[in-house]
Amino acid sequence: MLTQRNIRKSSLLLIYALEMQHTNPKDIRDFPLENYWGLVNEHAKKKYAGMLAKAVLHESRSLAELLDAMRARAGEFETYAAGRDTTAAAAASTHALLKELEDVPRVMRSLRRLLEEEGNEREREQLPEQTGRLIGACERICRFAEEHLPLLERETHESVTAFAGALRRVKKAAEGCAALRCPEQLPSNSEHANIIGLAKEMRERRPLTEKLALEVYSRCEEWERHLQNLLRNYVPSRLNAIDRCILYISFYDLLCRKLDPGIVISEACILADEYSGGKSAPFIHGVIATAIMQLMPDTNQPER
């Protein structure tokens, strides 16, 4: 589920990138955000890759066995069809398809192994590629069936009807897997609701993240002035960079979005606990509490 907290977290990492590159606020629209988005979205991508691989394996669980049955039926069909003008092309396509699908069981085994080796990050980087190969194989099966089944179903010869029946079963097993190429197009009540939701979240997160990051950072000179006034005898530039970026977001939440001060402090401390050192949360709490007293004097200082 896409929450304001998740957007705030990913925005913090983009603001940090802008800060570390010493980007002028006037030039932020030209900043190559694309180069940093992969890092910002890395955790979500890994989670999505694992969920998609599990869903694909679930949908294709009977595929290897059904392909073996189809391959057994294909020999008699190809022998019969080779000498007939109406089915010769289908026989040739069948031979080519089955040759192409020979590595499907190996890909499935590879996916299972990668999912079991959760601690091996280098190995798990292959998940998207292997998942895509299995989805692609299922897509080719579906296209082949849609092209050739109408012709095969008009034939009455035993070898053709047997092969057509095997092909229908393989197509049914492949359809669910092929549909996972675009999970957002699946019904919301699908058994894959979790991956549908995550796919939607990943699509929606980027524009919202970039919008917040750019809005916050475009005012960083204003936030620096506030910090200068709040941190007596302490130069803001000496602050830990990630702490400074957390405070940028907090000032924006307080002064621009007018969020409840208690919520602002709570969210800032959560960011500090996750992305900064152990002593950062109390320090950030104190700075924001002082900002509330100085910049919002009519507001009572909230407790953490």
Instruction: For 69-101, write each residue's pLDDT tens digit.
Output: 999 999 999 999 887 888 888 999 999 999 999
Element (H or E) spanning 58, and its range? Answer: helix 42-59
pLDDT at 233 over 80: no
Confidence of residue 31 (pLDDT cuts 50, 70, 90): confident
| Domain spanning 15-38+198-295, CATH class | mainly alpha
Contact 12, 267 (CB under 8 A): no
Using alpha carbons, select from 255, 253, 279 the residue that is nearest to residue 268.
253
At 156-201, the pLDDT tens digits run 999 999 999 999 999 999 999 999 999 988 887 888 988 988 888 8
**Using CB atoms within 10 A of its CB, is residue 64 exposed (0-12), middle (13-18) or buried (19+)?**
middle
pLDDT score of 235: 62
pLDDT score of 1: 66
Element (H or E) spanning 218, and its range? Answer: none
HEC states along 236-291?
Answer: HHHCCHHHHHHHHHHHHHHHCCCCCHHHHHHHHHHHHHHHCCCCHHHHHHHHHHHH
pLDDT score of 66: 96
Long-range interactions of 12-17: CB distance < 8 A, separation 24+? 12/242, 12/245, 12/246, 12/249, 12/271, 12/275, 13/39, 13/40, 13/275, 14/40, 14/209, 14/210, 14/213, 15/213, 15/216, 15/217, 15/245, 15/248, 15/249, 16/241, 16/242, 16/245
pLDDT at 303 over 60: no
CB atoms within 10 A of CB 77: 26
Domain ranges of the chain: 15-38+198-295, 43-181
pLDDT score of 304: 43
What distance in Å separates the CA atoms of residue 86 and residue 96, rounded to the nearest whole number?
18
Instruction: Tell which wins on pLDDT, 202 or 107.
Output: 107
